Structure 1
């Protein structure tokens, strides 16, 4: 894996930093607190989302609302880019370059998806990366202090030896299985001669079975030919039997037909005698049957004339009603129109009245809103002034100078000095972190010095007059001087360790104090932003209060206008009431005309009825001319009796015709 480019936007102390890594070794140099470690932390954050802050929000630069880290690198001759962007939430994406000249193509998005993709690309996890590639400040001493077994384990992990051992263990079951199969195959090959002999026997048996099969196929062909001849003879015999059965059935049917014809001859003769008798009766009834239709037409015309006379009378009454209703409509039309105009004017005035009443109701609500708004403005102003005063006191307690606070008069100034103070505290924290790291490195050096002196000191105590370094002979005084020198070195380094540890404790104590102050200042900065917004809202409320005062000035004019409008509506309602009777009469007459229908249509129906009456009178005259017994004076009872008698004769006539 080779890093090619790193871009940081609002990441801790880096506001907008772009680093292009050239080929070869890159060295990052800078003062304590300049952001060297932050670059390595950004790489760790981009790859594995690993960081040293308490939470991701702490990685965002002060006074910034978003943060972005982009890392470009190559692995296995392929180029990739990781982007982690923090706004309201952290969004992670990874891209791959398809060609040298092409751009990056999106692969996936999401913490889990990106982590899985990185693990497949690099074939390492975050722990291995932190141990092998990225060693944090202060961890070199920890690596030096590890035991031989721990160092061996770490080096094996770095070189992939542990993976090879694991792969070898996993291969052992497969190797064992293949060895078993090899032994089994060798055993089978050992008996190969017996298998060949058995194969020859089986092959001979197969040839014998094939010969027997050919013989059986020839026998089957002979049997099939004999069966075909027998089937043909059977079909011929069945055809002859069918012909014989058909002739027998035909003879029996001819005998039955002859007997039936003899019986039908007698029946037909009897029917001929009855038909002759019926024809004589038909001749006698024919003169009566022809008169039935004349009598029925006569009765139908008389009944129709009676019904049409009633319809004629109803239509004449309807025409009279239509004429009367039309006269009412014409007479009341003018006052009807005045009623509608008055009603329309009242509706118009009522709409104006409703609009004025809404305006009055709005004004009343405005007065209520004004009281509530005044109270709200007063409370907000007191709260803001109290917060402003308390904030300046807190800043003074946190160590901000009184001269600086004396010049602060509004929210923009207090926000600016607070953010500047946060940056100052952050720089102090970063400086203390560098001092602590430096002290810890000194501690490691002091401990190494002690170890370097303890070993020859122990050897001096175990040997007589021998130098532990060059193994040359030394005198007792020289040995004593060496012992005192080593003991002095140990004592001095132990003292330095004690002093340095105390310094580290004090530095940590100061750092914790500054970090606590930083947290409180950040919370205070957020509150300042919140109250700054409240101050803006307070100014908006003052503008809204002025608008309410302007709108309330028109309330008295609206009230007077409403009173005048109520009087006008009352007068218009009295005028409308005077036209009410004529309006009702007009509406009733129009409704009646709608029910009665068209006058022209009624007149047309009356003419049709008169024509039908004339036609029926003509039919009656024709009937009287055809039968002298009919006259215009015949009673209904006598007419019904004659028709009933004729119907009876007609029924008998039709029955006889049907029989014949």
Structure 2
């Protein structure tokens, strides 16, 4: 698999990072915590949904709602693209394949995409992390760690640690099933006690059933006797009810007869009163004939008074009309003048309203202008402060941002060039010092060997003389001495360059502290404020012109209002007179109405004279006479109403006599029924008591039966429970046998997963494969070693020209070479020998300067793996890179620095 590109959006600290990968060695470099390792984790997440966070929601950038990772890779000659998206509550995954120049959808869904990736790469997520992904410190651990620690680390890479975990976890499962076995054995021991208890309760159940049968026989006998008493009681109950009803009816009829007789007496009294009222009506009739004449006279007199009152009102109206017409004529000119002035004031007021807002706007503009002037003073003060600080940093006396910018545009590139050249010189010196140290180590080895041998060359094994041996030692020592002198010179130069770089870095740090952009912002702010003040001054001038016009209008309004007040009284008189005339109506119409009233007044006077002649003396006190006669009339009407009930009263008297006769006949019939019943209350009461006693006896027997039935039901439930327990215990026997067989199987499986089982077989199978792949890498790295062996604890033994050696016997650089080859060999075994890409996370961590340099030199020579992606903070690794990608973080956001 070759990764072509990776796009990360809102993943951990990466807001929007897009990385193009190429073959060869790609270095992802950045400071600690910059977000480098997150890039490798994003690739693993895109392919297999693997992540290190406790919860998947923690992968989403803080403050964001959605994240996505898209990876494009090539394998088996085809190009694929996988996109995974995630929100706080849902996820989405899509896999596409490249057909021609376009990508076509292949599959979707988290599980489906992961399975497809596994099928394509022939490995799952865990195997990918162990095979392709080399974690921090793994190469150093293969050198520095103890045998047991190395064994554990390689076991983890090969997946053997999972078997160890399975072996330990099976012990927990076995313990649980053993506890269950003990519980089952304890339950089965209680089987005999339950069977004894069951038999005892079964006998008691039979005894209770017999007692219930005896009580049922007694209950049946008592029920027969109770039924006979109940029938006798029902007959007596019926007679009792009939006797009671007849007695009640007899009393009711007698009460009704008494009531009818009292009613007859009352009706006779009412008839006597009606006869007296008929006589009084006959006496009143002659006196009431004069009432109609008197009432007519009163009505005509009242009507005449009303007409005369209307006549007076019309005369008053005619006089008022003439008065108000005179007022209108006198004040008409004042009314016209007032109307003209009021209209002119309204027009002026409208014009005033158009200019009224000018005063408010002047106040607002004045306040706004004062605030802007304060802001401008503040900006100018900040500009002075920034200029003073910047001049102090550079030791200059520039007076403007343009002068600073021109100076820095030439000074900064020169400074950066000096820093870069100094850094390159430092790296060259360090590299040469490292090479001299390696040379000295390589020279000391043959010196030590020459000092311990007599006549054989330690390298070629040929015969040498003592003179030649001494000469070789002297030459080697001389070369070491020259190298040491050269190293001292280089260290002095290195100190000079490092001091120089510190000075240059200090200058660069000071320059970076100068913020020209904020100075420009202050200048722009001050310019903007000045423009706004100019606009406000222009607006204020226009508003002042409007204020002059406004004051002239207000003077005109005041003058017109003074004139209006002087004639307001005459104006109001005119309005009052006009309103009054409108309400009084037309003068001619009122004259016609007056003439129309005079005619009925004359007619009424004639009618009143005629009626007075008829009434005679009664006219002198007309209202009292009418009132008195009306009282007599009301009394007569009341008497007539009462007398009108005479016929109805006679009918009621006859009806009452008939009902009295019928009631006497009904009383005789009821008395006959009572005599025929022959009812005896004492006999009835005796039968009721006998029936109640029999029922009490039945209830007592029923209670005894219910008690026994309850005991029987409770006993039956207990027997059912015991039977269920017995059945369960019988099942436990079978369950115990199955459990024992299962425990045997689990122990066999656990033995398989143990150190002496599959773990040992996997180690034995993997060691020769790792040795074979590591040996192939020795050849590709052009090592002088021909073979490598791993024992059961994965301790390394290598074979070269000098024979057999352990890691402790070879140089630091050789250790790094062997460790890298061994780690890549493990990767080849895990990947099936088809390794195209590998990821290294901080490979130089925990390595000293010399071993770090050796690893860098090895990586430079590596061409056996098409694609290598290295995450590091070590700038020395840049020398080994074909592609360099720098990652930085600002305000919590990681991003790729454009080169």
Matches of 1:324 and 1:486, distance apart in 2: 152
C-alpha RMSD of matched pairs (Å): 7.1
Say which is worse superposed, 496-505 or 518-527, in terms of deviation.
Answer: 496-505
Counterpart of 1:28 in 2: which secondary structure? Answer: strand
CA distance, structure 2, for counterparts of residue 179 and residue 574 of structure 1:
118
Structure 1: which 5+ runs fail to align? Answer: 30-34, 49-69, 111-116
Query: CA-to-partner distance for each residue in 1:339-387, whole Å, 9 max, x for gaps?
Result: 2332332343456567678769978998999999999989977986x67
Q: 1:247 to 1:411 in 2, by over 3 A?
A: same
C-alpha contact (below 8 Å) 1:95/1:106 kept by paired residues: yes
CA distance, structure 2, for counterparts of residue 622 and residue 498 of structure 1: 162
| 2:59 aligned with 1:74 | no
Which residue in 2 is equivalent to 1:346?
A: 345
State TM-score, norm by structure 1.
0.59
Q: Take 1:267 and 1:597, find their aligned partners in 2: how far apart are those partners?
A: 70
Instruction: Verify the 8 A CA contact 1:308 1:613 in the aligned structure 2.
Output: no
Answer yes or no: is the 8 Å Cα contact 1:346–1:572 preserved in 2: yes
Contact 2:352–2:554 (CA under 8 A) maintained in structure 1: yes
Query: Distance in 2 between the 1:342 and 1:271 partners?
Result: 91
Any gaps of 5 or more consecutive residues in structure 2?
Answer: 72-78, 90-109, 115-123, 644-899
C-alpha distance in 2, partners of 1:320/1:28?
A: 122
Quote how far apart the aligned CAs of 1:183 are.
0.7
- Out of 609, 615, 624, the position equivalent to 1:641 is 624
Please tell me whether the aligned partners of residues 85 and 91 of structure 1 are also in contact (alpha carbons under 8 angstroms): yes
> Which residue of structure 1 lines up, in the alignment, with residue 518 of structure 2?
527
Correspondence for 1:108 among 57, 65, 87: 87
2:528 to 533, 537, 552: 537
C-alpha distance in structure 2 between counterparts of 1:106 and 1:313, whole Å: 105
Provide the rounded CA distance (Å) in 2 between the counterparts of 1:568 and 1:442: 102
Compute the TM-score of the two structures, normalised by the length of structure 2: 0.46
CA distance, structure 2, for counterparts of residue 309 and residue 103 of structure 1: 115
| Structure 1 residues 260 and 561: alpha-carbon distance in aligned structure 2, compared to 1, 3 A threshold | closer
Q: CA deviation at 1:185?
A: 0.3
* Cα offset, 1:581, TM superposition: 4.0
Which residue pairs with 1:185 in the alignment? 184
Contact 1:335-1:583 within 8 A present in 2 as well = yes
> Does 1 or 2 have the higher relative contact order (CA < 8 Å, sep 6+)?
2
- Equivalences for residues 477-626 of structure 1 within 5 A: 503=494, 507=498, 510=501, 514=505, 517-518=508-509, 520-534=511-525, 536-537=527-528, 540=531, 545=534, 548=537, 552=541, 572=560, 576=564, 579-589=567-577, 597=583, 599=585, 621=607
Q: Which moved more, 1:568-577 or 1:499-508?
A: 499-508
State how far apart, in whole Å, the 2-side matches of 1:233 and 1:18 are.
Answer: 110
Counterpart of 2:67 in structure 1 is: 94
Once structures 1 and 2 are overlaid, which stretch shifts more, 570-579 or 373-382? 373-382
User: Contact (CA 8 Å) 2:332, 2:574: kept in 1 or not?
Assistant: yes
The alpha-carbon distance between structure 1 residues 283 and 94, as it changes in their structure 2 partners (threshold 3 A), is same
Match of 2:68, SS state, is strand
Change (3 A) 1:417 1:329: farther
SS in 1 for 2:515: helix
Task: Kindly indicate whether the alpha-carbon contact (under 8 Å) linking 1:46 and 1:71 is maintained by their aligned counterparts in 2.
Answer: yes
Task: Tell me how many residue pairs correspond in the alignment.
Answer: 583
**Match in the other structure for 1:63:** none
CA distance 1:272–1:376, shift in 2 (3 Å): closer
Q: Taking structure 1 as reference, are residues 272 and 494 closer, same or farther at Cα in structure 2, changes over 3 Å only?
A: farther
- Distance change in 2, residues 1:17/1:301 (3 Å): same
**Larger displacement relative to structure 2 (443-452 or 244-253):** 443-452
Q: Is the 8 A contact 1:449 1:490 kept in 2?
A: no
Give a deviation string over 1:609-652, Cα, whole Å, max 9, x none: x8899699879959975993268x934xx123323432553455
Matching of residue 286 in structure 1 with residue 285 in structure 2: yes
Deviations along 1:50-99, one digit per CA (max 9) or x if unpaired, are xxxxxxxxxxxxxxxxxxxx9795233799x999999xx9757413789x
Equivalent residue, structure 2, for 1:6 = 6
Q: Could you list the per-position Cα deviations for residues 273-300 of structure 1 after superposition, in whole angstroms to 9, with x for gaps in the alignment? A: 3332222112212344565566556546
Q: What SS is found at the alignment partner of 2:67?
A: strand
CA shift, 1:182, in A, is 1.2
Indicate whether 1:629 and 2:615 are aligned. yes
2: CA distance, partners of 1:491 / 1:221: 135
Query: Which deviates more from structure 2 when the two are superposed, residues 242-251 or residues 431-440?
Result: 431-440
Change (3 A) 1:440 1:232: farther
Task: Determine the C-alpha separation between the residues in 1 that align with 2:329 and 2:482.
Answer: 135
Aligned-partner Cα distance in 2 for 1:251–1:431: 143
Deviates further, 360-369 or 197-206: 360-369
What is the alpha-carbon distance in structure 2 between the residues aligned to residue 453 and residue 220 of structure 1? Answer: 125
Contact 1:301 1:620 in 2 (8 A): no
Give distance in 2, aligned partners of 1:220 and 1:617: 114
Give the Cα separation in 2 of the matches to 1:342 and 1:311. Answer: 44
Q: Relative to structure 1, is the Cα distance of residues 504 and 285 closer, same or farther in structure 2, using a 3 angstrom cutoff?
A: farther
Counterpart CA distance in 1 for 2:563 and 2:348 is 14
Could you report, residue by residue, the CA deviation over 1:545-594 in whole angstroms, capped at 9, with x for unpaired residues? 38846974996x7788678767766765566456534422234446657x
Q: How far off is 1:231 after superposition? A: 5.0
